Amino acid sequence: MRTRDYDKQERIKEAMIDLILKEGINGASVAKIAKKANVSPATIYVYYENKDEMLSEVFNECAHRSYSYIQECIDPKMSGKMFIEALIRSAYEFALKNEEIFSFVEQCSSCPTLSESVSHSDYSKYVFDLIHEYQRKKILKTYSDTNVAAVLFAPVKFMAMNRTAYKDTEEGLAELISMMQDLLLY
Amino acid sequence: MRTRDYDKQERIKEAMIDLILKEGINGASVAKIAKKANVSPATIYVYYENKDEMLSEVFNECAHRSYSYIQECIDPKMSGKMFIEALIRSAYEFALKNEEIFSFVEQCSSCPTLSESVSHSDYSKYVFDLIHEYQRKKILKTYSDTNVAAVLFAPVKFMAMNRTAYKDTEEGLAELISMMQDLLLY
Amino acid sequence: MRTRDYDKQERIKEAMIDLILKEGINGASVAKIAKKANVSPATIYVYYENKDEMLSEVFNECAHRSYSYIQECIDPKMSGKMFIEALIRSAYEFALKNEEIFSFVEQCSSCPTLSESVSHSDYSKYVFDLIHEYQRKKILKTYSDTNVAAVLFAPVKFMAMNRTAYKDTEEGLAELISMMQDLLLY
Amino acid sequence: MRTRDYDKQERIKEAMIDLILKEGINGASVAKIAKKANVSPATIYVYYENKDEMLSEVFNECAHRSYSYIQECIDPKMSGKMFIEALIRSAYEFALKNEEIFSFVEQCSSCPTLSESVSHSDYSKYVFDLIHEYQRKKILKTYSDTNVAAVLFAPVKFMAMNRTAYKDTEEGLAELISMMQDLLLY
DNA sequence: AATGAATGAGAGTTCATTCAT
DNA sequence: CATGAATGAACTCTCATTCAT
């Protein structure tokens, strides 16, 4: 019996992400993905039940990676100021370093059929547990979680997507961080 | 006679927006749009050169409508507080009242092939002219335009898309407004 | 607007019947049918919703033709003897003259998914109305309809399918007719 | 060890017959058969050279079983009346008890590519030897073998396939038997 | 202007079969 | 012997678009 070639699966994922990025969801056909991954179209169905499942599986995994990265960049011992900076900067850094994955997740997020299949809550739990801790310690002001998420992550994502609109992205990022510190810290 | 034709094009637009909302960009085929609009597929090509052009034309129009709505809701005579509230509330209201159009625009925005064809700058010019006026008058703090846009619109869009995550959306919206007032007003 | 080309539909039907006959239901793919009919595969979907519907529609039509032929060959004024001869001989003749259609119907009849979609009752009504008349007149013995159908049509079909097993088909047919006359006439 | 293998092949056969009955010849793919039989697709190729061979082997075996069953139900010492009853009743009983096998055989028989691979003559020899004996003894009327086969087996198969059309199958069967006794006995 | 017919190209998926273990 | 992985070919069906009226 032949054993599964996980390198193959990895190639399939990468091919899919790359294609969606370059040609949109419409452009990423199974045949194209297979060709780019150097496998037969039929092989894809060894690893995924169908195209939708493949999309949502890869989408989930990518979304998870983003949260993991952020998690690794924060530390309960940080000061409030540092904490906010770490959150925003890590989110931005991830988008920068993993441009393809970030862009892929953003694109999938806006697709109604796909976004339903992802459970953000699991990934973000650790981050929000920490935020709650800072709020209990009266370091962070207490706003509703959803609004905290909205102001912490939506603008930085917006920034990452519209990088070209900024004269100096580092300066823009620093400004955004300082704004959020003003807003959220006591 | 003219009304008849206008009706037809209007029906085509609505059918397309509706289909994209419900089935995603993939689900909106020319045949389906034609059926939903009660016209022949060939008729669509009387009004639009091809599908891409149709998409980007309707996309542009919808994006424009959103900005128009916001424009109508603000007034140079407003206080700074009122101004911010009006901006956020109108953005949210538009998303609520025009759920289909809002979702359609969001979805199209993340599509690389489409987003290139839209020039946001034109529409938002009026809004930013006003913001600059408030900044000159030392009512609004002076941050870079992109960051102002980021914090003013990204979170409220996020809110509109994740309405279900809020216990009480009105309360959430009020909180967000007050946060932005704290952040942006002197 | 282009008008429907009924010759095209006819070619599609014939191609399908021919292919099923020669290669079995498995061998009759849409692509092959299209090629044989000299149309695009897509064109088939102008005339039929899907392959199953196409099959059952053509099947129904063919089954109907067989009954029509038999109907035309019988006449209420016939003697009982003549009536039975006409029924059997016409059934056999049809099978002979329309070998492809006959064989096609037989093949489809044994397919469980297809045979459900055909309503024999409608077509055979006229024939059985006549049979009942002969029974009322005490010319034909009164057996249950299903058994009458069973002995009148099943053997002659069997004969038509196994023609090669007969030394002299005309003689065999004459014998079968005489058997049925003995069996069914007073 | 041997039992294990035998089990596997048996399971493959049953799975195939079951699938063909339920989904038609088209529905019985190697993958589905393997899944239903709880073996790997590759295992099927240990027992059969290819799919066609598998089909015709199982078809032959099933056709043989039907004749074997009938053989076991008849006896040279029977009266002519009993003999005919036994022939028809056993044929019907077999179809009833082995619905799957019966339907499978009927379906395969009408498939041109398959029916060539089966030699009916071998199995039916014993039955016809007996019939000839009864004819020599002037118990059964002497008709051509093919016509005897046609009237003895075609109607009962028809009955088995159209059971639902009968109000009372037992009554219908009894009637058919009595008809055949009238027809074939002196 | 408007349309249903028509289509080549390509979509997602499954096929029977072979490979490597 | 037995298997899951792998695949080229073929499957049904839909695509965006054009044609003929």
Domain of C78, CATH number, reads: 1.10.357.10
How many folded domains does chain A comprise?
2
Q: What is the largest CA-CA distance in chain A?
A: 63
In 3D space, the residue among C23, C22, C53, C19 whose CA is nearest the CA of residue C36 turns out to be: C19
pLDDT exceeds cutoff 60 at B37: yes
Could you tell me the CATH number of the domain that includes residue C32?
1.10.10.60
Same domain as D34, residue D67: no
Q: Is A34 exposed, middle or buried (0-12, 13-18, 19+ CB in 10 A)?
A: buried
Averaged pLDDT for residues C72-88: 95
Q: Is B30 exposed, middle or buried (0-12, 13-18, 19+ CB in 10 A)?
A: middle
Work out if C6's Cβ lies within 7 angstroms of strand E. no
pLDDT exceeds cutoff 80 at C147: yes
B163 contact residues in A (CB cutoff 8 A): none
The pLDDT value given to residue B125: 84
Same domain as B62, residue B30: no
Same domain as D56, residue D43: no
Question: In angstroms, how far is CA B162 from the centroid of its own chain?
Answer: 16
pLDDT exceeds cutoff 80 at C58: yes
Q: Which two tokens stand for residue A150?
A: 């909205």
Chain D: touching chains (3 or more CB pairs < 8 Å) = C
Same domain as C127, residue C106: yes
Question: In angstroms, how far is CA A20 from the centroid of its own chain?
Answer: 15
- Of B15, B30, B48, the position where a domain reaches its end is B48
Work out if C11's Cβ lies within 7 angstroms of strand E. no
Size of interface A-B (CB pairs under 8 A): 108
Looking across all nucleic acid strands, the nucleotide with the smallest C1' to CA distance from residue D33 is: E16
Same domain as D40, residue D6: yes
Same domain as D62, residue D39: no
Question: Which residues are registered as beta bridge partners of B140?
Answer: B185
Same domain as A59, residue A25: no
| Range scoring the smallest mean pLDDT among C84-88, D89-93, D167-171 | D167-171
Find the helix or strand (DSSP H, E) in which C58 lies: helix C51-73
In 3D space, the residue among B167, B42, B64 whose CA is nearest the CA of residue B120 turns out to be: B64
Side-chain half-sphere exposure of C6, counting CA atoms within 13 A: 0
Q: What is the pLDDT of residues A134-153, one digit of tens each?
A: 999 999 999 999 999 999 99
pTM (2 d.p.): 0.85
Same domain as D109, residue D70: yes
Q: Does A21 touch chain B (CB under 8 A)?
A: yes
In 3D space, the residue among B92, B185, B165 whose CA is nearest the CA of residue A183 turns out to be: B185
C107 contact residues in D (CB cutoff 8 A): 110-112
Alpha helices in D28-164 (DSSP H): 30-37, 41-47, 51-73, 80-97, 99-109, 112-115, 120-136, 145-161
* Structure confidence at residue D1 as a pLDDT band (50, 70, 90): very low
Work out if D49's Cβ lies within 7 angstroms of strand F. no
pLDDT exceeds cutoff 80 at B119: no
Same domain as C118, residue C139: yes
Q: Which domain holds residue D5?
A: 1-48
Q: Does A119 touch chain B (CB under 8 A)?
A: no
The pLDDT value given to residue B2: 47
Which among B27, B103, B179 is the nearest to A183, CB-wise? B179
Same domain as B119, residue B173: yes
Which among C155, C162, C176 is the nearest to D155, CB-wise? C155
Which nucleotides of strand E lie under 7 Å from a protein CB? 1-21
Same domain as B80, residue B27: no
Chains C and D: 3 or more CB pairs within 8 Å of each other: yes
How far are the Cα atoms of D12, D40, D46, D51, D107 from residue D31, in angstroms, in the given order?
A: 11, 8, 14, 11, 20
Same domain as D136, residue D64: yes
